[in-house]
Chains A and B, each alone.
Chain A
């Protein structure tokens, strides 16, 4: 079957760094997406990894290990506006995104 595993909730301090882990099992694999979703809004695209390694994009970085079925999203210099849910979504062999429940990130001053 297909499965996504992320922590349900994480708390971090403004200005700090946080790493959100994601493990997955899919039928085939065509890359993995990270999305940010603020409450009541649609998810917004953050990153896409298809090759192993780290992709850096400003304060956000995303890492992928295909052999381990593992990815993480790294957020640096946390800001209050980063409080949101972060969705890990691998793409299966049919090019469909497999969604998990996401990780709710709470930023405290």
Chain B
């Protein structure tokens, strides 16, 4: 089946530093990838939609200058949390849509990245 990986799986950083999270589709091409954030005991919150070769579309309330998204290839999207603060600590999950699959609407989720900002 389609596999999406994220790296790193867990990261701890100091306040004020920047953290990059990678999302890769391992065995399929994904023109569209999504970045979610999950707060404890709450549902996933869509942060942005990443389209290969173009600018990401951010959801209302998500700061595009703070959460930089780059989707430079059909298998890789990156989320950079710039000048991270403790309130940015969360579980970040990406998903990818298989562009060439029979079920092209299905999103395959990455395992998530747990960010802790001290």
Give chain A's interface residues, CB within 8 Å of chain B.
30-31, 33, 35, 40-45, 48, 50, 87, 91, 95-97, 99-102
Task: For A99, give the chain B residue with the smallest CB separation.
Answer: B43
User: Once the chains are docked, how many angstroms separate the CA of A96 from the CA of B57?
Assistant: 12
Task: For A6, give the chain B residue with the smallest CB separation.
Answer: B43
Task: For A4, give the chain B residue with the smallest CB separation.
Answer: B43
Shortest beta-carbon contacts, A-B, top 10? A42-B112, A99-B43, A42-B109, A101-B43, A42-B93, A99-B44, A42-B111, A43-B109, A100-B43, A48-B106
Interface of B is mostly: strand
- The answer on a CB contact under 8 Å between B105 and A43 is no
Give chain B's interface residues, CB within 8 Å of chain A.
34, 41-46, 49, 91, 93, 103, 105-112, 114
Asked if A48 meets B103 with Cβ closer than 8 Å, knowing A42-B110, A43-B109, A96-B49, the reply is: yes
- For B34, list chain A residues within 8 Å (CB): 96-97
- The answer on a CB contact under 8 Å between A44 and B109 is yes
Q: Would you give 11 A-B contacts (Cβ < 8 Å), ordered by A?
A: A41-B112, A42-B109, A42-B110, A43-B44, A45-B106, A45-B109, A96-B46, A97-B34, A101-B41, A101-B42, A101-B43
Task: For B41, give the chain A residue with the smallest CB separation.
Answer: A101
Q: Contacting A33 at CB < 8 Å: which of B41, B49, B91, B106?
A: B106
A45 to chain B, nearest CB (A): 7
B74 to chain A, nearest CB (A): 18
Q: Contacting A41 at CB < 8 Å: which of B44, B45, B103, B111?
A: B111
Asked if A91 meets B105 with Cβ closer than 8 Å, knowing A42-B93, A96-B49, the reply is: yes
Task: For B112, give the chain A residue with the smallest CB separation.
Answer: A42
User: Once the chains are docked, how many angstroms separate the CA of A40 from the CA of B43?
Assistant: 12
A53 to chain B, nearest CB (A): 17
- The answer on a CB contact under 8 Å between A97 and B107 is yes
Task: For A97, give the chain B residue with the smallest CB separation.
Answer: B107
B39 to chain A, nearest CB (A): 10
User: Once the chains are docked, how many angstroms separate the CA of A109 from the CA of B50?
Assistant: 44
- For B43, list chain A residues within 8 Å (CB): 87, 99-102
